Amino acid sequence: MNDKKLQEANRLRAEIIKLEETIYSIKHAIRYEYDLHFKSGQSREYKTRIPCEVLKAVAPIMLEMLQKKYDALAKDFEKL
C-alpha cells in the first residue's frame, strides 16, 4: 500500500471511529436520559449542550444522517 492510500485509510478510519463514538453517545444519552455535551475541537471545555428532551426529538434524524455518513465512509474504506 503506498503512502497516499495509507494516509487516506488512516483518515477514513479516524472519521469512522469518531462517528461510532458520536452515535454511541447519542444512544446512551437517550437511554439514560441525560443532556449531551460536546467539546469544540481541541478545547477541554464543553461548548455545546443538547438537553435530553431536544435530543429525543431530533435523535432519529441525527442518527439517520450519521448512519448514512458512516455507510459512505465504510464503502470508501473498503475500496482502498
Residue with cell 443538547: 50
Q: Considering its fold, how many domains does the chain have in total?
A: 1
Q: Which domain holds residue 16?
A: 3-79
d(CA 49, CA 37): 4
Angle, alpha carbons 71-72-78 (nearest 5°): 90
Give residue 15's pLDDT.
92
Give residue 75's pLDDT.
92
Q: Is the pLDDT of residue 38 over 80?
A: no
d(CA 51, CA 37): 9
61-75 confidence digits (pLDDT tens): 999 999 999 999 999
13-34 confidence digits (pLDDT tens): 999 999 999 899 889 988 888 8
Percent with pLDDT over 90 in the chain: 35
